Amino acid sequence: MTPLIIPVFLPHLGCRERCLFCNQRTITKKVPSPQSVREFIEISLEHFPSHQAEREKQVAFYGGSFTAMSLEDQVSYLKEVQPFLSSGRINSIRLSTRPDALNGETLATLKEYGVKIVEVGVQSMLDEVLLLSKRGHDAEDSAAAILRLKQWGFEVGVHLMIGLRGDTCDYFLWSLDQMIALRPDFVRIHPTLVLKGASLEEIWKSGGYSPLTMDEAVAWLKKGILKLERASIPIARIGLQPGKELEEHLLAGPFHPALHQLVDSAIFYDMAKDLLRKYPNGPKPVFVCHPKDLSNLKGQRNENILRLKKRFKLSDIFIFSSKDVGRGGLALQTRGGEVLIDRKLLD
């Protein structure tokens, strides 16, 4: 069961450079002081539903590069969580940072103050892509950081991006291969968006950058998700968290509040298409999926069903749900019984 997260956003704190794509003040304009963190945690705990009292609770320091702040500043924020850890009201801490800000002294401090998960902003494993994005670190820094964190016993998450300047789908999939070899505990993937106030805005306006279309983003992510699923590496999130500030600052790029669902729907369309191509069995095929996959199979506004009917000239498509079909799987009823396709076997 995923933990309940109390997010504390520290936009740009610790950032040594302003990455080309970044303007974190679209998420929050005010940087909370260490003293305000304790009150925020208290209020957040009071608002958690009582029926979820047994779930793990984490304070998450997001935004900026936490471990690139001075050690004194890091401790000032971490200290505010200690009373909640001691009382058991908070179980652990997670934070996000950059890969070249994780020396031994810093890691020892994180351990001392109860940090459990460190999320590393890798973005790409291609040095030329990192250079164009003004990340200020290279792929070797990312690999070393992940290995070092694992050696210290932290759970490790990595953030990757698609559609950066100089990026290609093949580059993205190659970066994923490098990540899979390093075995992080989970991955987040975000499409590159053009935001007001980010350096990328001027390059986009001058014609020097074209963001991915939504169709391109879904195609890249579909391949990436399947690759990670084959490797049994969990995907924590696809796409940025929607919010009023983000939408107000968004200029261009493949943003959708339910991007992961769009990609899953695309995968289910491919599975249904493969089954119908290999096992044609009349004008009214019957599919069976897990109850929680019904919306993914149908697609938004029944788009998958409409596309399949048009492509295969079908008069109707029937869909049933059954827990006998595992999550992510799809079965087609035929005269000889059900034929099941495993999404991990898709090309």
Mean pLDDT of the chain: 92
Residue 89 confidence (pLDDT) above 80:
yes
> Which residues partner with 61 through β-bridges?
8, 95
Residues belonging to the chain: 347
DSSP readout, 301-320?
A: GGHHHHHHHHHHT-S--EEE
pLDDT tens readout for residues 2-31: 889 999 998 866 566 666 667 655 455 578
How far is 96 from 89, CA to CA, in rounded Å? 22
Q: How confident is the model at residue 335 (pLDDT cuts 50, 70, 90)?
A: confident
Closest by alpha carbon to 58, among 228, 239, 256, 236? 236
Q: Torsion angle, CA of 163/164/168/173, rounded to 10 degrees?
A: -80
Dig out the tokens for 141 from the structure.
């820094």
pLDDT tens readout for residues 105-124: 999 999 999 999 999 999 99
Residue 240 confidence (pLDDT) above 90:
no
Return the amino acid letter for 42.
E
Which domains can be identified in the chain, with CATH numbers? 4-257 (3.20.20.70), 262-345 (3.30.2320)
Dig out the tokens for 192 from the structure.
């590159």
